[in-house]
Amino acid sequence: MREDKKISFIRRKFLKSFAVAAAALATLTKASSAVKDFDFDDFVQKNFREMTPQEIERMLKRLEKKYKEKYGKDFVVKATPPMENVEFGYALNLSKCIGCRQCVYACVKENNLSRKPHQIHYIRVMRFKTGPIDLEKSEHYYDAEQVPEKGYFYVPIQCQQCRKAPCVKACPIKATWTEKDGIVVVDYNWCIACRYCMAACPYRGRNFNWAEPYVPVEELNTNTHYLGNRPRMKNVVEKCTFCIQRSREGRYPACVEICPVGARKFGNLLDPNSEVRRIIETKRIFRLKEDLNTDPKFFYFFHS
Amino acid sequence: MRFAKFLIDSVKEVIKGGPLYYAWMALLLIVMAFAARSYIFQLDQGLIVTNMRDQVSWGLYIANFTFMVGVAAAAVLLVVPAYIYHFQAIKEIVILGELLAFSAIVMCLGFIIVDLGRPDRFWHIIPGLGILNFPISMLSWDVVVLNGYLILNTLIPIYLIYKGYVNEEPNKKLYLPFVLLSIPWAVSIHTVTAFLYNPLPARPFWNAAILAPRFLASAFCSGPALIILIFQIIRKVSNTKVQDVALFKIAEIMAYSMFFNLFLFGAELFKEYYSGTIHLAPMEYLMQGLHGHNALVPWIWTAICLNVTAFILFILLRNIRSVKIMNIGCVLIVTGVWIEKGMGFIVPGFIPDTLGEIYEYMPSSTEVMVSLGVVALGFFIYTMFAKIAIAVNNGTLKYQKD
């Protein structure tokens, strides 16, 4: 009798476990986005750097078609290559920055950054009380009625485009690399989302799409680059690319263009007559965390 | 073919069993089923259902992964006395230790897979098919050494169990080289895992040369602690002979390891606090709390208390040969090291983050459930393999001509 009870208890337990397993399987097949959104062409796509020019051409056409179906808008997806004899550099005038965050939002719009449920900003403007730049005492989420505020100064930080980028070294599958013009890019279709690059970056230059990114259709920027602002997917890493879709066509990044006080300067480090070169050669400059030897191409400077 | 019959008989052995066995396996299956549901939810919604964010981009999964690599490496503490020193009492049970290493590696890979945001792209990491950034990325080294260790700890036990099944003397020339190779390899898996965190100057808390030795020291207490506990369970539920003398031998090694572990932790504390640079911040966050944020403080102090108490108990063991004291010590150590290496090591590496922001992390229910599932999977696999090994050892599972 006791033995019978035991066996029926075990049987119940067994059946229960099968029922739960079946329920789990049902959830899987029932409209799970992982299954629904599966795209065979995406699945078999090679790493960007291993594609032939013809394969890239085909892939760009495929993406344009895919985005048209998904968003109902005509996209241009480019893969403009780097220009010869160009290495991009950036200089930021801390004496001028007023902490208005217009660069942050111009960047969000230009680069199709996710608005929700997980919001992404490539640029963080940090507020400091007058005194030394002590990161631990910075305010990331300051709310000011009017800027600039008395007794405060501001330091915007974004990807520092390091020459010796720790993130590139960390990636186990070469999904991120430095282009010939010095821009550190990510192949969003190759990233496996191990997030080792995020652990390796000393500047919080990398952002993760923790959820499916959402951008209102009317605010989508349809002029895109494969390695830049094309629509992203959930669970991939992304980062500032000096607006690769603009800079490779001789235009300024969106943050440079919008800055109301002209604190942001951008140009070719290899051109001896460029503005950034002049700033580096004539102003007192510094770079963040120089002791880590990452050799950033992002320079901070003061008026004189 | 004899090997095919071995496989068939093994499957039969796994299917049959007493009520306790069925209840245990059913329990594990239920846990795995719930975990699968949580994991599908995570795949569906994205990693946003975890509590990881840009500031703290690794959490419970990677913490458990790190702990399990230590458990896998600790099998070496049975392999060395068994094969090098021919300590008979341990030689009889070494195969159960190797199987534990195998199961631990399966759990490690499981934790990596659930942590990956894009498991659908897993093939990108397979050399030949995708691109492995070897030898530049330390993560690529981890892929190589973990899979190598997995292969070693699959081949060796399978060969030995099979030879027992067909009742033949195993060919030493064939398997001993692999056993010897597995010894430095065990050390390497935990060293490389430490080297994942160690070379990142962005994270001063991890950027310490002491890390690899510290990992090994803590692994050589937590791994054997699990082994001691599991072996006693096996002794209870099957008629496998596990001698107390073997357990006490393992316990002795653990006492030394715990001493080194505490010493190295103390050395790290001294260096950080005495220098008192800005790099003290993560340690301060962990030990005392920082700017009013102190979520990890109770965790680390619990871990320290558990580890110190266990160390004292293990010293007492030299004079009082008590299995009960040893077991209490083992439970304390497993818990203590799990906290120290997991929540106490991975998480403070990210707090404060590289720009000084403090984001306090505690795992979400999804992370906890999925983690339980990975552990259940590991135990499920271990139970199956151990059952086969024990049956072969007892002679109840052996080759018979049709």
- B29 in contact with A at a CB cutoff of 8 Å? yes
Residues of A in contact with B140 (CB under 8 A): 172-173
List the single best residue of A3, A6, A9, A10 to mutate versus B (max B Cβ within 10 A): A10
Q: What percent of chain A has pLDDT over 90?
A: 84
Reported as a pLDDT band with limits 50, 70 and 90, residue A26 is low
Q: Is any Cβ of chain A less than 8 angstroms from the Cβ of B167?
A: no
Question: Cα B288 to chain center, whole Å?
Answer: 28
| Residue in the block written with tokens 């330091």 | A155
Distance, in angstroms, between A269 CA and closest chain B CA?
A: 26
Q: Which of B133, B350, B357 sits opposite A174 (nearest CB)?
A: B133
ipTM, 2 decimals? 0.94
Mean pLDDT, rounded, for A170-189: 98
Nearest-Cα distance to chain A for B208, in Å, is: 14
Closest-CA residue of B relative to A168 is B137
CA pair distance B72, B75, nearest whole angstrom: 6
CB A242 within 8 A of CB A161: yes
For B74, B268, B335, the CA distances from B229, given in Å and listed in that order, are 14, 30, 13
B contact test, residue of A2, A17, A51 with most B CBs within 10 A = A17
What three-state secondary structure class fits A7?
A: helix
CA distance A228 to B89: 62
Contact state of A20 with B52 under an 8 Å Cβ cutoff: no
Whether A270 contacts A261, CB under 8 Å: no
Amino acid (one-letter) located at B23 = A
Peptide bond preceding A148 in cis form (omega within 30 of 0): yes
Range of the domain at B317: 2-392
Q: Is the pLDDT of residue A7 over 90?
A: no
CA distances from residue B164 to A160, B6, B183 in whole angstroms, order as listed: 61, 11, 23
Q: What are phi and psi of A90, to 5 degrees?
A: -135, 140
Q: Which residues contact B135 (CB under 8 A, 6 or more apart)?
A: B141
Could you tell me whether strands A237-239 and A206-208 are parallel, antiparallel, or unpaired per DSSP bridges?
antiparallel
Burial class (CB in 10 A: 0-12, 13-18, 19+), A186: buried
Residues of B in contact with A124 (CB under 8 A): 355
- Which of A98, A136, A154, A157 has its CA nearest to residue A288? A157
Residue ranges for chain B with pLDDT beneath 50? none
> Are A135 and B356 within 8 A, CB to CB?
yes
How many residue contacts between A and B have a Cβ separation below 8 Å?
184
Residue (of B360, B124, B304, B333) closest to B229 by Cα position: B333
Among residues A119, A275, A138, which one has the least CA distance to residue A208?
A: A119
What distance in Å separates the CA atoms of residue B108 and residue B102, rounded to the nearest whole number? 10
Q: What CA dihedral angle connects A28, A32, A33 and A35, to 10 degrees?
A: 40
Q: Name the nearest CA neighbour of B26 among A21, A199, A162.
A: A21
**Partner-chain residue, chosen from B36, B133, B353, that has the shortest CB–CB distance to A204:** B353
B22 close to A (CB below 8 A): yes
Model confidence at A4, pLDDT cuts 50, 70, 90, reads low
B233 touches chain A (CB under 8 A): no
Cβ–Cβ below 8 Å for A199 and B200? yes
What pLDDT score does B188 carry? 96
Widest Cα–Cα separation across chain B: 75
Confidence category of residue A1, pLDDT binned at 50, 70, 90: very low
What average pLDDT score do residues A20-47 get? Answer: 73
Q: What is the CATH number assigned to the segment(s) A88-301?
A: 3.30.70.20
Give the model's pLDDT for residue B255: 92
Cβ proximity of A59 and A39 under 8 Å: no
Residue B367 maps to which CATH number? 1.20.1630.10
Torsion of CA B183, B376, B13, B163, to 10 degrees: -10
Q: Is A112 left (phi over 0), alpha (psi -120 to 50) or beta?
A: left
Is B169 within the bounds of a domain? yes
Has residue B191 been placed in a domain?
yes
| Residue to substitute from B122, B147, B357, B358, interface A, most A β-carbons within 10 A | B357
* 8-state DSSP, A8: H
- B266 close to A (CB below 8 A): no
pTM of the model: 0.93
User: Considering chain A, what percentage of its residues have pLDDT values greater than 70?
Assistant: 88
Domain spans of chain A, in order of start: 1-36, 88-301
How near does any CA of chain B get to the CA of A281, in Å? Answer: 28
CB contact under 8 A, B47 and A208: yes
φ/ψ of residue A124, rounded to 5: -115, 125
Number of domains in chain B: 1
CA-nearest residue of chain B to A158? Answer: B355
Q: What local confidence, expressed as pLDDT, does residue A3 receive? A: 53
Sort out which chain A residues have CB atoms less than 8 A from B115's CB and list them.
Answer: 194-195
Considering CB atoms only, which of A27, A33, A170 is closest to B137? A170
Orientation of helix B138-165 relative to helix B365-394, angle to 10°: 30
SS3 A208: strand
Strand boundaries in B288-355, DSSP class E: none
In angstroms, the separation between the Cα of residue A11 and the nearest Cα of chain B is 9
Residue B113, chain A, CB below 8 Å: the answer is no
Domain annotation covers residue B193? yes
Residues of A in contact with B350 (CB under 8 A): 199
Coil, strand, or helix at residue B301?
helix
Among candidate residues B159, B229, B189, B239, the one with its CA nearest the CA of residue B74: B189
Contact: B23, A138; criterion CB under 8 Å: no
By Cβ distance, the residue of A34, A138, A170 closest to B356 is A138
Quote the minimal CA–CA distance from B133 to chain A in Å.
5
Residue in chain B nearest A157 by alpha carbon: B355
List CB contacts (< 8 A) between B197 and chain A: 199
B 348-377 residues with CB < 8 A to A: 349-350, 352-357
Judged by CB atoms closer than 8 Å, whether chains meet at B356 and A33 is answered as: no
Of A33, A172, A193, Cβ closest to residue B133: A172
User: Do B354 and A201 make contact, defined as CB atoms within 8 angstroms?
Assistant: yes
Contact B46 A174 (CB under 8 A): no
C-alpha distances (whole Å) from B116 to each of B26, B109, B306 are 28, 11, 32
Tell me, yes or no, if B398 comes closer than 8 A to chain A by beta carbon.
no
Closest partner residue to A166 among B34, B37, B202, by Cβ? Answer: B202
Backbone angles phi, psi at B41, to 5 degrees: -60, -45
Determine, for residues A235 and B117 on separate chains, whether the beta-carbon distance falls below 8 Å: yes
Q: Does B144 touch chain A (CB under 8 A)?
A: no
Return the pLDDT at B71.
96
